[in-house]
Amino acid sequence: MITPPDRTPLPREFFDRPVLEVAPDLLGRILVRTTPEGPIALRLTEVEAYDGAADPGSHAYRGRTARNGVMFGPPGHVYVYFTYGMWFCMNLVCGPEGRASAVLLRAGEVIEGAELARKRRLSARNDKELAKGPARLATALGVDRALDGTDACAAGETPLRILTGTATDSDQVSNGPRTGVGGDGAVHPWRFWVTNDPTVSPYRAHAPRRRRS
């Protein structure tokens, strides 16, 4: 008999820990996005950790800005950024407050609301690709900058919530370098994923942008 996943919301204390503890512990948890069109839920299968001022790959490495301000706030909040002039990506802030660490949600398996996700991800060839990559995940869930700063641990109704789900056993978790991170940040093996899960995105090394002549 298969035990159904735990639908209890994760408390703020879950996120008020070092980012390298929170990141792998998010695998198998359930992210629920509530929209007027209906809810979508997905099981997290791939994440990346970013450790603020101690991490050259982090948006907060050089300090606080208008863009990354949420990262410096309380744990359990959502940090959304816009990238390449076309895509949104979603992170969960972890503590302590002022540390500016966060976990990028890279991929997941849609377990509820697939029909709604398909309408947002028309280019997906199958359901395994609906949230296979951070921009695809945000698109499937209808996440944009309007959700930046959302408290995922707030009492009552909230547009984003993380449920306990079923934590992935450590022997089923792989880790390696983060996708697309260059420079000194490339050495950190802070990408974590569920081993052999088909929804995990392919690894891509950092490719320096060419200057226009």
Query: Which CATH number fits the domain that encloses residue 108?
Result: 3.10.300.10
107 within domain boundaries: yes
205 within domain boundaries: no
190 within domain boundaries: yes
88 within domain boundaries: yes
pLDDT digits (tens, 9 = 90+) for 31-81: 999 999 999 999 999 999 999 998 999 999 999 998 899 999 999 999 999
Instruction: Give the count of domains, the chain.
Output: 1
Least Cα distance to 40 among 135, 126, 143, 128 occurs for 143
36 within domain boundaries: yes
Which residues span the domain enclosing 31?
A: 6-194
Distance CA 193, CA 191 (A): 7
Residue 66, token pair as written in the block: 């208008």
pLDDT digits (tens, 9 = 90+) for 106-123: 999 999 999 999 999 999
Distance CA 13, CA 76 (A): 8
The three-state DSSP-derived secondary structure of 136-162 is HHHHHHCCCHHHCCCECCCCCCCCEEE
Distance CA 189, CA 207 (A): 18
Secondary-structure breakdown of the chain: helix, strand, coil percentages, each rounded to the nearest 5: 20, 30, 45
159 within domain boundaries: yes
34 within domain boundaries: yes
